[in-house]
């Protein structure tokens, strides 16, 4: 992409992945349109202060998508399963890609999930694979697909943080299961690369990860950063299944198969030194998180 003239639209710009990509692009001087449903929010204000054009858009509103895509040449596309649901996320991802092609986008970057191409049987992996297929079938002049593993930021999400505050890492996987994970900022580095090195990244479908740990190891690392003892507690999958069959299916797959990114080879080939879990945890304001 030409940073002096090409506009890149980043969806989910006030979220984890979109926000990380937008920050890396803005830091390097790219022209960024940051799409959000809440352009007056605090996170949108931060992006605006960094130089982004913050614009209101909604994946469920095709007319708003056509508007935000005006004049755009590059797109970073991300949807949220846990917010939209599996079927609606798929509809959003496909619709957005189709409108982007119609509006003349020349480089489409879609963020999927690691192992989406392996027929995992996990609903929110399988729907992303179908969105990937739509992106390929649309035949953009160039495209990149990024597939990330479990986010380190999940440990400070509403689902896991309350347990950590009580001294317990509660997850529904076996203690011996090694889970690959990645810091969201590292996803942003690959997203940035997809635009900054467009020719090199054209047609690349890349699974990315930063580090792998069992949950007892993870509890120890997080505990050191938090200054307290954290105990891993395996949540029965039957309990998880009561609120999400999809999530329980993923946890079973983690135990049975799991992510298998060759992390050293990835870092060597693309030059991205991934953050370790310990490095990521040191940057978290745990006092503020625990007081919230």
Q: Which pLDDT band, with edges at 50, 70 and 90, does 38 fall under? A: confident
Q: Within a domain: residue 172? A: no
Q: Within a domain: residue 96? A: yes
Q: Within a domain: residue 171? A: no
Task: Please state the rounded mean pLDDT for residues 10-19.
Answer: 95
Q: Within a domain: residue 134? A: yes
Answer yes or no: are the C-beta atoms of 99 and 91 closer than 8 Å: no
Helix (H) or strand (E) holding 110: strand 107-113
CATH of the domain at 145: 3.40.50.720
Q: Within a domain: residue 247? A: no
Say yes or no to pLDDT of 292 above 80.
Answer: no
Q: Within a domain: residue 166? A: no
Helix (H) or strand (E) holding 184: helix 184-196
Q: Within a domain: residue 55? A: yes
pLDDT of the residue at 1? 85
**Which positions ≥6 away from 64 have C-beta within 8 Å?**
56, 57, 58
Share of the chain above pLDDT 70, in %: 100
Per-residue model confidence as pLDDT tens digits over 90-122: 999 999 999 999 999 999 999 999 999 999 999
Q: Report the relative pairing of strands 107-113 and 150-151 from DSSP bridges.
A: unpaired
d(CA 194, CA 110): 10
Q: How many folded domains does the chain comprise?
A: 1
Say yes or no to pLDDT of 219 above 90.
Answer: yes
Radius of gyration of the chain (CA): 19
The distance of Cα 254 from the centroid of its chain, to the nearest Å, equals 18
Q: Within a domain: residue 241? A: no
Q: DSSP characters for 56-89? A: E--TT-HHHHHHHTTTEEEEEE---HHHH-HHHH
pTM, two decimals, is 0.95
- Which domain range does residue 19 map to? 7-149+183-209+260-272
d(CA 235, CA 249): 14
């Amino acid at each position: 992409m030409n940073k002096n003239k090409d506009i890149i639209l980043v969806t989910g710009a006030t979220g984890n992945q979109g926000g990380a990509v937008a920050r890396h692009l803005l830091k390097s001087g790219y022209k960024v349109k940051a799409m959000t449903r809440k352009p007056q929010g605090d996170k949108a204000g931060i992006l605006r202060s960094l130089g982004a054009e913050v614009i209101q858009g909604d994946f469920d509103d095709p007319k708003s998508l056509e508007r935000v895509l005006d004049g755009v040449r590059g797109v970073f596309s991300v949807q949220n399963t846990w917010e939209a649901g599996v079927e609606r996320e798929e509809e959003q991802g496909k619709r957005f890609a189709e409108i982007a092609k119609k509006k003349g986008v020349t480089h489409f970057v879609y963020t999927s999930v690691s192992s989406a191409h392996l027929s995992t049987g996990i609903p929110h992996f399988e729907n992303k694979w179908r969105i990937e297929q739509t992106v390929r079938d649309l035949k953009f002049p160039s495209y990149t697909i990024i597939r990330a593993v479990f986010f380190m930021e999940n440990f400070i999400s509403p689902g896991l943080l309350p347990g950590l505050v009580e001294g317990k890492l509660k997850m529904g996987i076996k203690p011996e299961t090694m889970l690959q994970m990645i810091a969201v900022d590292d996803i942003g580095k690959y997203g940035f690369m997809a635009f900054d090195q467009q020719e090199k990244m054209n047609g690349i479908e890349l699974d990315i990860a930063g580090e792998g740990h069992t949950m007892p190891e993870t509890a120890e690392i997080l505990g050191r950063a938090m200054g307290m003892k954290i105990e891993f507690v395996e949540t029965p999958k039957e309990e998880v299944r009561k609120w999400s069959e999809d999530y329980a299916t993923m946890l079973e797959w983690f135990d049975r198969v799991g992510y298998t990114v060759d992390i050293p080879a990835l870092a060597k080939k693309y030059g991205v030194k991934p953050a370790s879990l310990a490095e990521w945890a040191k940057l978290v304001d745990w006092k503020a998180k625990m007081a919230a």
